[in-house]
């Protein structure tokens, strides 16, 4: 068999060897050599700071091999994960300085993994760079909206571009940390179930009028419907549809109190099929019609007269 240069793990480090035994790095992190005495220089002339930790999440062994070779050769410590769930777990455990995340993976894809990372206070500040073979602006926009800082195109991975983008975002993250030292903050709930519920509720709030089905919502969160419903029961004490009902009514209460939006439009905006179903839901929850609830809320807030005057002015 012809010898082939590749990587294996030896005492927890990445080393050169003539065979690429995949099983050698399936069961744990692969660390790049950090024995260099000075910061190495990449082909662009930029220097990478000493030994930041990079988490690579990709189901493609070929792409992981290329990226590992590029980055470990420059003194970076490399940790690999072959799917989103393992990547999220390692991000929580190891707190890498930067994550390179493939978009298209089986099971929990890159978008679902990014949602979990950004919803967890322990990992939300880690820069995420997406890897994608799709040349679709909408996909890139979705990733940036979820909190990614950049994209790298596949499959033609350019060494200089990868190193430059990684260096830029490592430096930006370092400057942000230096400029704004972390201040004491209230303890956040980082239990896996709490993170799942936060990701799901953030997504539902974006469009209460046409929310995704429970199955689709679970997929967007990188889990299954049963586990997501169990998380809702444990964290908020009700199933997904129960939380959705309460959130719609809570927003209806606010819109009725603060705006002159017609009652029918409020119901439509919040996803009720017609005015009758909206009125029924309000009556069951608050014991009165939407119109009566609006009047009561404004009386309690002392806003009724000004709003009525504004409505009269609009009618003139």
Least confident stretch, 154-158, 265-269, 270-274:
154-158
Q: How far apart are CA 223 and CA 218, in angstroms?
A: 5
Helix (H) / strand (E) element for 56: namely strand 53-57
Is the pLDDT at 86 greater than 80, yes or no? yes
Question: What tens digit of pLDDT does each residue of 234-249 get?
Answer: 998 999 999 999 999 9
For the segment 73-101, the average pLDDT, to the nearest whole number, is 91
pLDDT value at residue 182: 58
Q: Are 56 and 100 in contact, with CB atoms under 8 Å apart? A: yes
Q: Are 123 and 117 in contact, with CB atoms under 8 Å apart? A: yes
Average confidence score pLDDT of the chain: 79
Is the pLDDT at 37 greater than 70, yes or no? no
For the segment 138-162, the average pLDDT, to the nearest whole number, is 86
For the segment 295-300, the average pLDDT, to the nearest whole number, is 85
Q: What is the pTM of this model?
A: 0.55
- Classify residue 50 as left (phi > 0), alpha (psi -120 to 50) or beta: beta
For the segment 121-141, the average pLDDT, to the nearest whole number, is 86
Q: Are 54 and 71 in contact, with CB atoms under 8 Å apart? A: yes
Q: Are 84 and 113 in contact, with CB atoms under 8 Å apart? A: yes
Percentage of the chain modeled with pLDDT above 70: 76
Burial class for 66, CB neighbours closer than 10 Å (0-12, 13-18, 19+): middle
How are beta strands 13-17 and 6-10 bridged, if at all? antiparallel
Q: Which domains can be identified in the chain, with CATH numbers?
A: 53-178 (3.40.50.2300), 192-301 (1.10.10.60)
Q: Are 235 and 279 in contact, with CB atoms under 8 Å apart? A: no
pLDDT value at residue 297: 85
Query: pLDDT band at 203, cuts 50/70/90?
Result: confident
pLDDT value at residue 120: 87
For the segment 98-112, the average pLDDT, to the nearest whole number, is 91
Q: Which residue has the higher pLDDT, 183 or 75?
A: 75
Give the single-character DSSP code of 22: G
pLDDT value at residue 227: 92
What are the φ/ψ torsions at residue 125 (nearest 5 degrees)?
-90, -5
pLDDT value at residue 153: 86
Residue pointed to by tokens 């480090």: 13
Q: Are 244 and 206 in contact, with CB atoms under 8 Å apart? A: no
Helix (H) / strand (E) element for 256: namely helix 240-258
């Amino acid at each position: 068999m012809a010898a082939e240069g590749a990587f294996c793990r030896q005492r927890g480090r990445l080393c050169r060897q003539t065979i690429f035994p995949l099983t050698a790095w399936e069961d744990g992190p692969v660390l790049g050599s950090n024995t260099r005495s000075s910061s190495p220089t990449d082909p662009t002339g930029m220097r990478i700071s000493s030994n930041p930790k990079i988490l690579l999440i990709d189901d493609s062994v070929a792409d992981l091999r290329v990226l590992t070779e590029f980055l470990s050769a420059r003194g970076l410590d490399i940790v690999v994960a072959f799917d989103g769930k393992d990547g999220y777990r390692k991000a929580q455990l190891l707190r890498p300085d930067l994550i390179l995340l493939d978009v298209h993976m089986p099971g929990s894809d890159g978008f679902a993994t990014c949602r979990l990372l950004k919803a967890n206070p322990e990992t939300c500040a880690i820069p995420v760079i997406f890897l994608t073979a799709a040349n679709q602006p909408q996909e890139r926009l979705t990733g940036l909206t979820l909190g990614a800082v950049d994209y790298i195109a596949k499959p033609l991975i350019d060494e200089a571009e990868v190193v430059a983008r990684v260096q830029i975002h490592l430096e930006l993250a370092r400057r942000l940390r230096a400029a704004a030292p972390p201040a004491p903050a209230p303890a956040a709930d980082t239990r896996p179930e709490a993170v799942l519920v936060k990701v799901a509720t953030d997504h539902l709030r974006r469009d209460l009028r046409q929310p995704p089905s429970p199955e689709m919502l679970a997929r967007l969160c990188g889990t299954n419907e049963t586990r997501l419903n169990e998380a809702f029961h444990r964290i908020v004490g009700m199933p997904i549809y129960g939380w959705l009902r309460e959130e719609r009514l809570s927003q209806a209460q606010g819109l009725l109190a603060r705006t002159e939006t017609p009652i029918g439009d409020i119901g439509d905006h919040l996803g009720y099929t017609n005015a009758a179903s909206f009125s029924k839901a309000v009556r069951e929850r608050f014991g009165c019609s939407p119109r009566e609830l609006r009047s009561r809320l404004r009386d309690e807030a002392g806003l009724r007269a000004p709003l009525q005057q504004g409505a009269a002015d609009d009618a003139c």
